[in-house]
């Protein structure tokens, strides 16, 4: 009778005592922010046609659609060209801030606003990778994804105690004024309530965290808030893992029901579509062998169906993880879908072993040390916060 209770107590202590998977959460932060940033920069010359107020899907059509599906987007607040240009630059800056891990908690919220606003403005642009990025942008808000490999982690390592976080206070004040103005103007809650409520909750939560850290002398409120943040982080990480498994399981089982996948010819057809053939010679080379096409089709189905079940065995999981990442790399090159592949590879990265990610961090720190004389391994790859000292230093405005 005692052993189950001991196991349960250890599990609760582990979930509430620290934000688990610091390296995995850092990888998905960097991966999704980098994917979206690369997309925005590549499509910068075409931003008007994709999301602009005078594009094929104009502002009135976008506003009508969001009023029907109750999707959140800040681009319907105004039909002006200046508002669109400023918001597009804002989305780029928010993605860069999250990529670098600068004020990670605030940057994750701004990143979510940028992703949802642009994607919901024109839902007919993009591919399956946009759906993954859409969901992950929301999940990242609940994670403490700046524990390692971030500017926030470097600042904590160099200056363990900062008396007053003026930058964080300025950010909180500016964002609060935007929320108050948008709400008073009736824009924030005009189509939906979920995302606006999340924005207000995050803003109030940051203020509460700052006040408790600075004004309350007792340790219990600080510990309670930190436990809540750890539980949200760990829960979000589980949801991200479950989402990745659901994507592969759904895709695999739907492929099994398709006749083209059953006879092994499904891969042949997209290789001969002009839209998915950036390298026609390479596509022709692959499609000349029926054996290769059949192996790729059957292998894809088997790997996708089997992957969720392999999580019970670490070695088999790692093998299939390599195969999945290789598959998406081939898709990026052969079918010309780099951002879809980057989004899926990033989702896969949440299952990478911690030991492997640590070695990658050490290797990157050493490579950086060759070019930056005043940098060190400790500053470039700071260790995750220890469970016994889990109170965040830069209150609320970082990871």
Helix axes 81-100, 22-42, angle to 10 degrees: 150
- What whole-number distance in Å separates Cα of residue 77 and Cα of residue 187? 6
Per-residue pLDDT band at 179 (split at 50, 70, 90): very high
DSSP state of 55: S
In order, the DSSP letters of 142-197 are TS-TTSSSSHHHHHHHH-S--S--HHHHHHHHHHHHHHHHHHHTT-TTSS-SHHHH
Q: Is the dihedral of CA 138, 141, 142, 147 positive or negative?
A: positive
- What whole-number distance in Å separates Cα of residue 77 and Cα of residue 66? 11
Q: What is the pLDDT of residues 28-58, one digit of tens each?
A: 999 999 999 999 999 999 999 999 998 899 9
- Count of positions (residues) in the chain: 399
Per-residue pLDDT band at 281 (split at 50, 70, 90): confident
DSSP state of 310: G
Q: Residue 380 pLDDT more than 60?
A: no
282-317 b/e with 16+ CB inside 10 Å = b?
A: ebeebbeeeeebbebbbebbebbbbbbebeeeeeeb
pTM here is 0.90
How far is C-alpha 326 from the geometric centre of its chain's CA atoms? 20
Q: Residue 381 pLDDT more than 60?
A: no
Q: What is the pLDDT of residues 152-175, one digit of tens each?
A: 998 888 876 655 678 888 999 999
pLDDT at 163: 56
31-40 b/e with 16+ CB inside 10 Å = b?
A: bbbbbbbebb
Q: What is the pLDDT of residues 187-242, one digit of tens each?
A: 999 888 999 999 999 999 999 988 887 777 778 888 889 999 999 999 999 999 99
pLDDT at 103: 93
- Where in the chain are the domains? 17-399
Q: What is the pLDDT of residues 295-345, one digit of tens each?
A: 999 999 999 999 999 998 999 999 999 999 999 999 999 998 999 999 999
Instruction: Tell me if 71 sits within 8 A of 191, measured CB to CB.
Output: yes
């Amino acid at each position: 009778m005692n052993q189950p209770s001991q196991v349960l107590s250890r599990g609760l202590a582990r979930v509430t005592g620290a934000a688990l998977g610091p390296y995995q959460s850092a990888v998905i932060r960097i991966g999704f922010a980098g994917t979206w940033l690369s997309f925005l920069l590549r499509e910068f010359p075409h931003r008007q046609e994709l999301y602009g107020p005078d594009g094929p899907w104009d502002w009135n059509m976008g506003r009508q659609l969001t009023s029907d599906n109750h999707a959140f987007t800040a681009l319907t607040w105004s039909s002006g060209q200046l508002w669109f240009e400023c918001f597009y630059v804002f989305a780029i800056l928010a993605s860069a801030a999250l990529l670098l891990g600068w004020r990670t908690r605030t940057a994750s919220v701004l990143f979510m606003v940028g992703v949802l606003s642009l994607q919901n403005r024109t839902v007919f642009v993009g591919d399956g990778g946009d759906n993954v990025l859409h969901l992950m942008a929301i999940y990242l808000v609940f994670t403490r994804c700046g524990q390692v490999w971030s500017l926030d982690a470097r600042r904590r390592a160099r200056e363990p105690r900062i008396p007053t976080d003026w930058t964080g206070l300025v950010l909180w004040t500016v964002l609060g004024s935007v929320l108050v103005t948008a709400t008073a103007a009736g824009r924030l809650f005009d189509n939906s309530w979920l995302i606006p409520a999340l924005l207000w909750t995050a803003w109030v939560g940051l203020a509460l965290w700052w006040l408790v850290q600075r004004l309350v002398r007792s340790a219990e409120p600080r510990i309670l808030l930190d436990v809540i943040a750890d539980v949200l982080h760990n829960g979000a990480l589980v949801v991200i893992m479950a989402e990745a498994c659901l994507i592969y399981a759904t895709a695999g089982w739907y492929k099994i029901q398709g006749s083209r996948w059953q006879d092994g010819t499904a891969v042949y057809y997209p290789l001969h579509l002009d839209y998915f053939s950036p390298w026609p010679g390479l596509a022709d080379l692959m499609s000349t062998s029926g054996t290769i096409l059949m192996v790729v089709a059957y292998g894809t189905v088997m790997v996708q169906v089997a992957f969720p079940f392999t999580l019970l065995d670490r070695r088999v999981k790692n093998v299939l993880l390599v195969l999945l990442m290789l598959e998406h790399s081939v898709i990026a090159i052969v079918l010309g879908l780099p951002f879809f592949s980057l989004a899926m590879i990033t989702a896969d990265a949440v299952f990478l072993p911690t030991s492997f990610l640590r070695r990658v961090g050490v290797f990157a720190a050493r490579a950086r040390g060759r070019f930056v004389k005043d940098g060190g391994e400790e500053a470039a790859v700071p260790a995750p916060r220890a469970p016994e000292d889990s109170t965040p230093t830069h209150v609320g405005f970082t990871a």
